[in-house]
Amino acid sequence: MENMIKLTIDGVEVQVPQGSTVLEAARAAGIRIPTLCFLKGINEIGACRMCVVDSGARSLQAACVLPATDGMVVKTNTPQIREYRKNILELTLSTHEKKCLSCVRSQNCELQKLCKELGVEEETRYEGVKNVYTIDDLSPSIVRDNNKCVLCRRCVSVCAKVQNVGVIGPVNRGFKTAIESPWEMKLSEMSCINCGQCIVNCPVGALYEKDETKKVWDLIRDPEKHVVVQPAPAVRAALGEEFGYPMGTSVTGKMATALKRLGFDKVFDTDFGADLTIMEEANELVERITTGGVLPMMTSCSPGWIKYCETYHPEFLPNLSSCKSPHEMVGAMVKSYYAEKNGIDPHKIAVVSVMPCTAKKFEADRPELGHDGMADVDAVITTRELARMIKEAGIDFCNLPDGDFDSLMGESTGAGVIFGATGGVMEAALRTAYETITGETLENVEFEAVRGIEGIKEANIKIGDKEVLVAVASGTGNATKLLERVKSGEKPYAFIEVMACPGGCVNGGGQPIVSAQKKMDVDVRVERAKALYGEDREKPLRKSHENQEIKDIYANYLTKPGSHKAHELLHTSYQKRALYSK
Q: Is 90 a known active-site residue?
A: no
Question: CA of 154: how far to CAs of 53, 67, 460, in Å?
Answer: 22, 21, 37
Per the CB < 8 A criterion, the answer to whether 159 and 197 are in contact is: yes
d(CA 275, CA 163): 28
DSSP 513: P
Q: Could you say which of 55, 300, 321, 474 is catalytic?
A: 321
In the three-class reduction of DSSP (H, G, I as helix; E, B as strand; rest coil), residue 490 is classed as coil
Q: What is the pLDDT of residues 58-82, one digit of tens each?
A: 999 999 999 999 999 999 999 999 9
Give the pLDDT confidence of 316-337 residue by residue, as tens digits: 999 999 999 999 999 999 999 9
CB contact at 8 A, 96 and 88: no
Task: Evaluate whether 531 touches 376 at the Cβ level (below 8 Å).
Answer: no
Pairing label, strands 142-144, 169-171? unpaired
Q: Which residues are paired to 208 by β-bridges?
A: 143
pLDDT at 129: 84
In terms of C-beta density within 10 A (0-12 exposed, 13-18 middle, 19 or more buried), how is residue 100 classed?
Answer: middle
Judge whether 301 counts as a catalytic residue: yes
Residues near 410 by Cβ (< 8 Å), separated by ≥ 6?
267, 268, 269, 272, 404, 549
For the packed helices 110-118 and 79-94, what is the interaxial angle rounded to 10 degrees? 140
C-alpha closest to that of 450 among 482, 474, 432, 423 = 423
45-53: long-range contacts at Cβ-Cβ below 8 A with a sequence spacing of 24 or more? 45/153, 45/157, 47/151, 47/152, 47/153, 48/88, 48/92, 48/150, 48/152, 49/84, 49/88, 50/85, 50/88, 50/89, 50/114, 51/23, 52/81, 52/84, 52/85, 53/22, 53/26, 53/81
Per annotation, catalytic residue among 24, 242, 284, 435: 284
Instruction: List pLDDT tens digits, range 302-320.
Output: 999 999 999 999 999 999 9
Return the pLDDT at 122: 77
Q: What is the 3-state secondary structure (H, E, C) of 235-257?
A: HHHCHHHHHCCCCCCCCHHHHHH
What is the DSSP code (8-state) at residue 524? H
Residue 334 to residue 350: CA distance in whole angstroms: 9
Among residues of the chain, what percentage have pLDDT more than 90? 93
Pairwise CA distance, residues 118 & 51, whole Å: 13
In this prediction, residue 457 carries a pLDDT of: 97
What pLDDT is stored for residue 466 in this prediction? 84
398 in active site: no
Residue 8 main-chain phi, psi, to 5 deg: -115, 125
What's the confidence (pLDDT) of residue 322?
Answer: 97
Catalytic residue among 83, 368, 448, 467: 368
In sequence order, the β-bridge partners of residue 354 are 231, 381
225 carries an active-site annotation = no
What letter would DSSP give residue 138?
Answer: -
Query: How confident is the model over 157-181, as a mean pLDDT?
Result: 96
What's the pLDDT at 199? 98
CA–CA separation, 37 and 24 (whole Å): 15
* 357 noted as active-site residue: no
Work out the average pLDDT over 137-155: 97
Kindly report the pTM of this predicted structure. 0.96
The Cα–Cα gap between 233 and 420 comes to 5
- Beta-carbon contacts of 567 under 8 Å, excluding residues fewer than 6 positions away, are 322
SS3 374: strand
What's the CA gap between 15 and 29, in Å, rounded?
9
- Report whether pLDDT(511) > 80: yes
User: Per the residue annotation, which of 180, 241, 242, 281 is the catalytic one?
Assistant: 281
**C-alpha distances out from residue 312 to 46, 88, 364, 456, 517, Å:** 32, 40, 21, 19, 33
Q: Residue 428 has what pLDDT?
A: 97
Catalytic position from the list 363, 385, 535, 546: 363
Of residues 286 and 345, the one with the higher pLDDT is: 345
How much is the pLDDT for 184? 86
Q: Is 505 a catalytic residue?
A: yes
Sign of the torsion formed by the C-alpha atoms of 12, 15, 18 and 24: negative
The verdict on whether 310 is a catalytic residue reads no
What pLDDT shows up at residue 124?
78
Active site residue 363: yes
pLDDT tens-digit map of 384-403: 999 999 999 999 999 999 99
User: Which of 307, 360, 361, 543 is the catalytic position?
Assistant: 360
pLDDT of res. 27: 96
Residue type, 124: T
The DSSP call for residue 475 is: S
Name the β-bridge partners of 6. 15
Indicate if the pLDDT at residue 128 is higher than 80.
no
Q: Residue 166: left if φ>0, alpha if ψ -120 to 50, beta else—which one?
A: left
3-state secondary structure of 96: coil
Q: Give the three-state DSSP class for 54.
A: strand
> Of residues 24, 385, 505, 544, which has the active-site annotation?
505
pLDDT above 70 for 581? no
Segment 182-204, tens digit of pLDDT: 988 999 999 999 999 999 999 99
Q: How confident is the model at residue 219 (pLDDT cuts 50, 70, 90)?
A: very high
Give all domains of the chain, ordered by start, each with its CATH number. Answer: 4-77 (3.10.20.740), 90-209 (3.30.70.20), 214-570 (3.40.50.1780)
pLDDT in tens, 429-479: 999 999 998 999 999 999 999 999 999 999 999 988 888 999 999 999 999
Q: Residue 1 and residue 186: Cα distance in Å, rounded?
A: 50
Euclidean distance between CA atoms 158 and 185, whole angstroms: 19
d(CA 434, CA 449): 15
CB neighbourhood size of 92 (10 A): 22
